[in-house]
Amino acid sequence: MHLTGWTVALTALGVVPAAVTQSREVAFWWVAAVIALALLDTWMAPPTASVGVRRDVPGSVRLTQSTRSSLLVANVGRRRVRGAVRDAWQPSAGADETRHRFSLARGETVTFRTRLTPTRRGDRHAGAVTVRTDGPLRLAGRQRSLDAPARLRVLPEFASRRHLPSRLRRLREIDGRTAVQLKGAGSEFDSLRDYVIGDDVRAIDWRGTARRGEVVVRTYRPERDRRVVVVLDCARLSAARVGDAPRLDASIEASLLLAALASRAGDRVQATAFDRAEQARAASSGPAFMTELADALAPVEASLLEPDWPAMVRLVESRVSQRSLVVLLTTVETSALDSGLIEAVGALQRHHQVLVGSVEDPELGSMLRARGDADAVYGAGAASRALLEREAVATRLRQLGAEVVLALPDDLAPAVCDRYLALKAAGRL
Amino acid sequence: MTAPADLVVAPAGPGLAARARRGRLGIVAVALLAAIVALILLGSRGGDVVALSTENSRSTGARAVAQILRDHGVSVRQLDRLAQARVEDPAATTVVIAEPYLLGARQLEALAEYPGDVVLLGASDESLDALGIPATDEPVVIPRTEDARCSDPDALAAGTVRVSDEGLAATGDGVELCFLHGDAAGFGRAEVDGRTVTVIASAALVTNDQLDELGHAALALRVLGRHPEVVWYVADGFDSSLLTWGADGSRPTGEAPGSIDAVPDFLPPGTGTALYALALTVLVAAVWKARRFGALVAEPLPVVVRASEATRGRARLYRKARAAGRSAASLRAAAALRMGRRIGVPRSEGRDTLVAAIARASGRPAQDVDRLLYGPPPADDEALLTLISELDALESEVHRP
């Protein structure tokens, strides 16, 4: 049951007889009569079972974009139904107008559209659809919440895709496919051609030269069909907030950009999100890979667990047999010494090339630069200490042969891609 | 148009009978609760324990005297609030005030204006003064049975009464005191402004407990039964309303401020009831607004801890400990790292190489650079700030060679 504003208005009208008769009993009985009328109206209202609803939700939407969820309301009863529906959504789904009034004749349907502008990545769930039917007096009516489960998958924003064109240009330069013919320095044998003046004499293929009687040189191209394994650490340290979003979001951006770049470069990419067990995975399989990856990473949330690095190593070893680039998107911190990150990187580095990407906190930078009073300088001291500790861990990782990229959240994705391109150009994949 | 398929429709709810069957326990519990509440309410009515109340059948109550008065055709009406009195004919009414020391000043003023007979059970200086009786309240420590020893017919009819608790001591003429116990009289009567004010200072004699002793009954019934109407009020200190009388029961006009019913007389009549109706409307509006249009949808929130929290904590520790030396060491090491990186000196190189390289790059003497980077730790905040500003200056001077 629910009351409408008319009930209140009618009750308020009781002030007039109460004031005229100066009798509290009149006021009291007026209210009692209005309530009785409202109860009668509720009883006369069409049953909520005479209203059927159906939700139609688009499968997914990219963060910061809007979509529309439609709610079909049908009168399946025998009478005209007047009332309202509420299309409830989680607050972060960003629904603009969730309440809609309707008046439907028998068998009629109406479709309401609720505009959704999600504010957070992940699965946004809809709440129940609440139906109110008004009684003939419009004083009160029946109310019922219907379970109409719906889910809107909010894909990562992938704001770093603006960096993709410039990286692809670089890739083409390495590849040697540019108009300027900057011959790429790959490591994979491509073909033999005649020597022209200016070629590096080290590239001369003596065996071919002997066979042909002319000087021929080998040409190389960047490796293709390499394997790239992106491992997102979605454990405790990724849950911490950097700027406005958790660290994990920056890692997801980086993995999306890297996947986009690497799959264009002809490499096979697979991604996994890991804390103590695998939370999500996607492997390159044709043109839909980027969508699949975004879809797989969208619902990943950072857990408050300590990462299980040895298990991660076992997982990677089971997935790839040949030498690959393992991109570990995690946090380089002193706690990495205890959690086993260094040992894991060491173990992976024996068979693969490891690239460790870590999100830096911009706040640390501002603390580091803060001057003015003693408090600010103590803050700068603490930030320096944190920086030195992180630098020590990074140095330790570099000594193991791993590449380490420390970057601010917005810079992580391009920085990781640049390092990938550098590795590719150097033929270290 | 036919309704499309796969609609979500509320299942037809169970019938009233089914619901009643399912909620049997709840219904029984509610009924039981209602019965208990009703019993308590009914029971509480008989359980009046207010001293000198005409409803109180215990030893401290005055139900006996009220019943005897009623048996003799006197109507006894007990008031909860003084304003309910609405005495129609003051000449034929006795207003009985028990525990008068609990009356407020304005109530006493109104009582003084009242034209009819008043009986006080108990006494207080303020009430005696307000009613114009030249006497004061005198405590009686040891109760004693006393003879009337005065010319008042009621007192003479009673003969002897027990004087206890309180008595009256005269301060002037105009009051007849009876049953004197030393200075304190158990009974006093005065004619003031054409009405009779009677004080039974030893009020215990009208209680159920003592009414049948000595001449108590005679005194009480004669004093209280003078007029066919008795209005009985036990002051309680919470009620601040005034005694009302007159043909329309509206004198004095208005009531004391602080009363719930207080309505200033410049407002039109009916304002109070209109406000009452509005209050009921507010209740209905609360019900209207309180009914939620479906449940709230829970939002699973992400972790809100900032990544820099640990570093900020460390900064606070440094600050609290005034760890200038430790702080400076970190800042120096970080500056050395940055400068070394800028001029291409790897971290593994020793102190001398780095100092020499920085001195070359900045054009400063090597001792100066060495003091800044590896000098003694600063002793206090002042020294720390100086060191840091010098270090910043040095860092800004280091350029790639």
pLDDT tens by residue, B345-362: 887 788 888 899 888 888
Out of A4, A374, A387, name the one closest to residue B385 (CB): A374
Note which residues in 23-42 of chain A have CB less than 8 A from chain B: 23-24, 26-28, 30-31, 34-35
The nearest alpha carbon in chain B to A372 belongs to: B385
Q: Which residues of B touch A131 (CB under 8 A)?
A: 10
Which pLDDT belongs to residue B258?
43
Q: Which residues of A touch B287 (CB under 8 A)?
A: 3
Cβ–Cβ gap B10/A51 under 8 Å: yes
Calpha distance A266→A256 (Å, rounded): 15
Beta carbon pairs, A and B, within 8 Å: 241
Cβ–Cβ gap A14/B3 under 8 Å: no
Q: Which residues of A touch B390 (CB under 8 A)?
A: none
Domain residue ranges in chain A? 2-44, 159-163+224-425, 164-221
**Is residue A324 packed enough to be buried (19+ CB in 10 Å), middle (13-18) or exposed (0-12)?**
buried
In angstroms, what CA-CA distances link A347 with A9, A36, A322, A408, B78? 76, 78, 15, 27, 96
Closest CA to B336 of B374, B300, B365: B374
Q: What angle do CA A118, A121, A127 make, to 5 degrees?
A: 55
Which pLDDT belongs to residue A412?
92
What 3-state class would DSSP assign to A270?
strand
Note which residues in 361-380 of chain A have CB less than 8 A from chain B: 361, 363-364, 367-368, 371, 373-375, 377-380
- What distance separates the 2 farthest-apart alpha carbons in chain B? 129
Token pair belonging to A75 = 């009168």
CA distance B83 to chain A (A): 17
Q: Which residues of A touch B327 (CB under 8 A)?
A: 377-378, 380-382
A81 CB within 8 Å of a chain B CB: no
Residue with tokens 């008065």: B69
A311 CB within 8 Å of a chain B CB: no
Calpha distance A128→A147 (Å, rounded): 5
A209 CB within 8 Å of a chain B CB: no
Which pLDDT belongs to residue B32?
94
Cβ–Cβ gap B299/A3 under 8 Å: no
Cβ–Cβ gap B297/A125 under 8 Å: yes
The nearest alpha carbon in chain A to B287 belongs to: A3
CB A357 within 8 A of CB A415: yes
- Which residues in chain B come in under a pLDDT of 50? 1-3, 253-261
The nearest alpha carbon in chain B to A87 belongs to: B294
Calpha distance A361→A55 (Å, rounded): 41
Cβ–Cβ gap B297/A144 under 8 Å: no
Cβ–Cβ gap B297/A35 under 8 Å: no
Q: Which residues of A touch B309 (CB under 8 A)?
A: 240
Q: What is the dihedral of CA A29, A34, A37, A39, to 10 degrees?
A: -100
pLDDT single digits (tens) A248-295:
999 999 999 999 998 888 888 999 999 888 989 988 777 888 888 999
Residue with tokens 């809100």: B304
Element (H, E) at B100: none
Out of A76, A90, A143, name the one closest to residue B297 (CB): A90
Out of B270, B298, B333, name the one closest to residue A19 (CB): B270
pLDDT in tens, chain A (429 residues): 899 999 999 999 989 988 888 888 888 899 999 999 999 999 999 998 899 999 999 888 998 899 999 999 999 988 999 999 999 999 988 888 889 999 999 989 999 998 999 988 889 999 899 999 999 999 999 998 988 888 999 999 888 889 999 988 888 877 765 444 444 455 667 778 888 887 778 878 898 889 988 888 887 766 677 889 999 999 888 888 888 888 899 999 999 999 999 888 888 899 999 988 898 998 877 788 888 899 999 999 888 888 999 999 999 999 988 889 999 999 988 887 788 899 999 999 999 999 999 998 888 889 988 888 888 999 999 999 999 999 999 999 999 999 999 999 999 999 999 999 888 877 777
Calpha distance A317→B10 (Å, rounded): 52
Supply the DSSP string of B199-267, one letter for each residue.
EESSGGGGSTTTTTSTTHHHHHHHHHTSSSEEEEEE--SS------BSTTS-BSSS--TTSTT---TTS
Residues with Cβ within 8 Å of A129's Cβ and at least 6 positions away in sequence, in order, are A53, A55, A71, A85, A86, A87, A88, A145, A146, A148, B8, B294
Q: Which residues of A touch B304 (CB under 8 A)?
A: 241
A52 CB within 8 Å of a chain B CB: yes
CB B104 within 8 A of CB B240: yes
Homologous superfamily (CATH) for A159-163+224-425: von Willebrand factor, type A domain (3.40.50.410)
Token pair belonging to B266 = 């410049």
Closest CA to A70 of A86, A54, A94: A54
Q: Which residues of A touch B302 (CB under 8 A)?
A: 120, 239, 241, 246, 301-302
Which pLDDT belongs to residue A252?
92
Cβ–Cβ gap A148/B8 under 8 Å: yes
When computed from its CA atoms, the radius of gyration of chain A, rounded to whole angstroms, is 32
Which pLDDT belongs to residue B261?
47
What 3-state class would DSSP assign to A56?
strand
CA distance B54 to chain A (A): 28
Secondary structure, 3-state, A109-157: EEEEEEEECCCCCEEEEEEEEEEEEECCCCCEEEEEEECCCCEEEEECC
Closest CA to A406 of A389, A381, A428: A389
CB A413 within 8 A of CB A253: yes
Cβ–Cβ gap A377/B331 under 8 Å: yes
CA distance B136 to chain A (A): 44
Calpha distance A283→B63 (Å, rounded): 95
CA distance B329 to chain A (A): 8
Token pair belonging to A174 = 């390495």
Predicted structure pTM score: 0.66
Closest CA to A45 of A125, A147, A165, A133: A133
DSSP state of B308: T
Residues with Cβ within 8 Å of A210's Cβ and at least 6 positions away in sequence, in order, are none
Peptide bond just before B134 cis, omega within 30 deg: no
pLDDT single digits (tens) B193-224:
778 888 888 888 888 888 888 888 888 888 88
Which of B1, B2, B7 is best to mutate for the A interface (most A CBs within 10 A)?
A: B7
CA distance A54 to chain B (A): 5
Out of B2, B299, B318, name the one closest to residue A92 (CB): B299
Q: Which amino acid makes up residue A56?
A: D
The nearest alpha carbon in chain B to A76 belongs to: B3
Q: Which residues of A touch B2 (CB under 8 A)?
A: 107
Cβ–Cβ gap A109/B3 under 8 Å: yes
**Is residue B28 packed enough to be buried (19+ CB in 10 Å), middle (13-18) or exposed (0-12)?**
exposed
Length of chain A: 429
Calpha distance A190→A206 (Å, rounded): 16
Which pLDDT belongs to residue A375?
87
Out of A145, A246, A387, name the one closest to residue B303 (CB): A246
Residue with tokens 């391009």: A414
CB A131 within 8 A of CB A144: yes
Cβ–Cβ gap B1/A108 under 8 Å: yes
The nearest alpha carbon in chain A to B326 belongs to: A381
Q: What angle do CA B252, B258, B263 make, to 5 degrees?
A: 60
Which pLDDT belongs to residue B249?
53
What number is the ipTM of this complex? 0.72
Out of A54, A92, A384, name the one closest to residue B4 (CB): A54
When computed from its CA atoms, the radius of gyration of chain B, rounded to whole angstroms, is 45
Q: Which residues of B touch A28 (CB under 8 A)?
A: 280
Which of A35, A110, A131, A384 is best to mutate for the B interface (most B CBs within 10 A)?
A: A384
The nearest alpha carbon in chain B to A29 belongs to: B277
A238 CB within 8 Å of a chain B CB: no
Which pLDDT belongs to residue A75?
92
Cβ–Cβ gap B302/A246 under 8 Å: yes
Neighbours of B9 (CB within 10 A): 19
Out of B280, B330, B388, name the one closest to residue A31 (CB): B280
A88 CB within 8 Å of a chain B CB: yes
A100 CB within 8 Å of a chain B CB: no
Out of A4, A131, A381, name the one closest to residue B327 (CB): A381
A305 CB within 8 Å of a chain B CB: no
